[in-house]
Structure 1
Amino acid sequence: MLIVLNGYPGVGKLTIGQELAARVAGRLLDIHTVYNVAFALTEFRSPAFVATVEKVEAIAHDLIRDLPADVPVIITTVLAGDSEWGTAEWRRIEALGRDRAPLYVVHLHCDLDENMRRIQAEGRGAKRKPRDGEMARRNHAEAKSLLGADAPHLLRLDVTRLMSDEAAVSIMDWIAEKA
């Protein structure tokens, strides 16, 4: 199976993904694992940045396809709005989901105050994660839709008051209902 955790920065995708991967004995591909090569070596949003992300992502997706079929894979991402690049990236995830079926999409969100608290947490900067509380405020104000809303298996999960282990259990229970 392929589980995609999609949500804005600071909602807890990586922490929940780590908890979920441990509980299902799966593999985790965090968005920062893919993007950090581009962040380190290119200018953000430049053609070289986009090309680097696509190349690293292609390598990762090929490795995921090579995993045994019974190994669950969790991917974290931030795909929202209607950009050409984001849509293309979502289509690549859908193709991977067809190869690793079933595809489960979880849209993670939390209220603004909690998002602001989380995004400003110590340690995020060391992981090249954004720490700008104003980014959270803009994301909430703009309220761009997360991609994947048309997926056959979609869970919208409010994690405002959930610990990562509780969120992981909620996701596992939902998947068990769908299976």
Structure 2
Amino acid sequence: MKIEQTFDKYYYLTEDEKSKVGNAEPEDKNIRWDFFENKNIDHKLTEPLKFKINSGKYSGQTGDFQFNSCGFLLFSDKLRTIIEKYLTDIDNPKWFPAEVTDLDGVTKNYSILYLFSKPDFLDHNNSTFVSGTDHPIKKRFDLEKIGDRLIYNSKRLSVLLCVHDIVRKDIKKSDCKGLYFYKIHTPGRLS
């Protein structure tokens, strides 16, 4: 089956700020957004990374796409199963175990997806950059660089994951909680 590769078919997968999913904080205060940076694909964890949803402004329940202060791609088993179907080895994906404890003290298993290879997918001629830097303001991607990927991420995307419409429809059909999709090359949620 030939996959239609147009920009209309790619979406950012991000957290749904309107959901009731709370923000999970790492229990180990040394765990930060850059925890997996500068590690290689052979890196292993001796135990799951532990997160906790605390009461307060960002409290809530757990979700399939779990918000977290580190910006990790933290997925429930249900969401991981869907994502795994569409991942290829080209970007060196690896899953790391995690646990999230909710406000009621219930702990659930999660997985962190980290792509060790993050090519630059930007179309540098059509993207807009901060004057005199290589920091993009308006990102435009290059379909040739994306290739046949149905899921991709890059250093320029930081924590965002892009998924093809095929992946988006499968996730929506499964009724996963805590995530939101908006088309790439658009401003995002406007309401």
Q: TM-score, normalised by structure 2?
A: 0.33
Structure with greater contact order relative to length (CA < 8 Å, sep ≥ 6): 1
- Is the radius of gyration larger for structure 1 or structure 2? 2
Q: TM-score, normalised by structure 1?
A: 0.34
The answer to which structure has the higher strand fraction is: 2
